[in-house]
Amino acid sequence: MKLAKLAGATLAICLFFGYSDSMYAAALAAAPANEQDNLPFTAPGPNYRGALPYAEVLIDAGHGGIDGGTFHEDVLEKHINLAVSKKLHARLQQLGVSSVLNRSDDYALSDDNRWLGSRSRHQRDLSQRTELTQEIHTGLLVSLHVNWSKRSAAHGPVVLHQKNRGESALLALCIQDALNQQQKTNELPRAGSPFYLLNTVKQPAVIVEMGFISNEADRRMLTSDKGQDKLAEAIASGVRQYKLFFR
Ligand SMILES: [Zn+2]
C-alpha cells in the first residue's frame, strides 16, 4: 500500500505538471528491493521464439459459460465482461496498443484446460487464466469484472492490483483515474491480495471491477451499448496513460 500511495502521489504530480520520466524513476528507486524485482517488465527481444506472437495486453473477459459471475435478475456479469472486453480490444487497436482476448464468446475457460487435472471447475478455470498469461506472451493482464453489494447505493469502479508490485499498482492507478473521470467518482485502487489470479500471474495484472450490478444507475451503464463504449474508452485510456511511463 506504501508503494501504491507513492505511485499515486507520483501519478498525481505527473498528471498535474505533465509527464516526467525521472519522477517515476525516483518513485521506483524508493520502492523496497523486493518490489523492484519485477520492474520493469519489458517486451521480448528479437530472439523471442514463442509459439504465439507477442501482444502488449491480455484482456481477460471474466467468467463465461456455466460460470455467470454475479447477477441481477436475468442480467449476468459474464455477458457484460465479454461485451466490454470486445470493445476494449477494438479501442486499444485504435490507440496502437496490441491486445488479445482470452475468450471471444460465452464459454468457460475450464472447458479447454490442458494444464491442471483438478476436479474443481473453478480451480481449472483460474489455472487456465493464469496459464494463458504464460502461453500467450503478453506484457499486461487486464481482467474485467462487475461488482455486487447488498447495499444498492454502493456504486462506482474499483481497480485491484497485485500486492507489493509497483507496476501493477501504477496500472491500477491509471485505470482507476480514467474510470473515476468517466463515472465522476473518487475511488482509490486497492491491493487485491486474496485473488488467485493476481497472486499467480507473473506480469503486471489488475482486476477491474467496472461498477455494481446491484446499483440501478451502474447497471444501466454496464448494460447499455453507450455505457459499455465509455467503460472501454476509459480503461483503454488508462492503459495508454500507464504505457507512457515506460516510453
Ligand atoms: Zn467477476
- How many Å lie between the centroid of ligand 1 and the Cα of residue 145? 4
- How many Å lie between the centroid of ligand 1 and the Cα of residue 136? 22
Query: Residue with C-alpha cell 447497471?
Result: 219
CATH code for position 60: 3.40.630.40
Question: Alpha-carbon distance 140 to 154, whole Å?
Answer: 29
- How many Å lie between the centroid of ligand 1 and the Cα of residue 35? 27
- How many Å lie between the centroid of ligand 1 and the Cα of residue 243? 25
Q: Is position 45 within any domain?
A: no
- How many Å lie between the centroid of ligand 1 and the Cα of residue 132? 18
- How many Å lie between the centroid of ligand 1 and the Cα of residue 221? 17
- How many Å lie between the centroid of ligand 1 and the Cα of residue 183? 19
Q: Is position 43 within any domain?
A: no
Q: Is position 40 within any domain?
A: no
- How many Å lie between the centroid of ligand 1 and the Cα of residue 18? 35
CB atoms within 10 A of CB 200: 16
- How many Å lie between the centroid of ligand 1 and the Cα of residue 117? 23
Domain hosting residue 240, numbered range:
53-244
Question: Alpha-carbon distance 53 to 148, whole Å?
Answer: 36
Q: Is position 8 within any domain?
A: no
- How many Å lie between the centroid of ligand 1 and the Cα of residue 209? 8
The grid coordinates of residue 118 equal: 483438478
Q: Is position 10 within any domain?
A: no
> How many domains are there within the chain?
1
pLDDT in tens, the chain (247 residues): 333 443 444 444 333 323 333 333 333 333 333 333 333 334 444 444 555 567 899 999 999 888 899 999 999 999 999 999 999 999 999 999 999 988 877 777 665 544 444 556 666 666 667 766 666 678 999 999 999 999 999 999 999 999 989 999 999 999 999 999 999 999 999 999 777 788 888 899 999 999 999 999 999 999 999 999 999 999 999 999 999 998 7
pTM across the whole model: 0.74
Q: Is position 226 within any domain?
A: yes
Q: Is position 105 within any domain?
A: yes
- How many Å lie between the centroid of ligand 1 and the Cα of residue 14? 32
Q: What pLDDT does 129 receive?
A: 74
Element (H, E) at 135: helix 121-135
| Residues paired with residue 243 on neighbouring β-strands, in sequence order | none
Q: What pLDDT does 228 receive?
A: 98
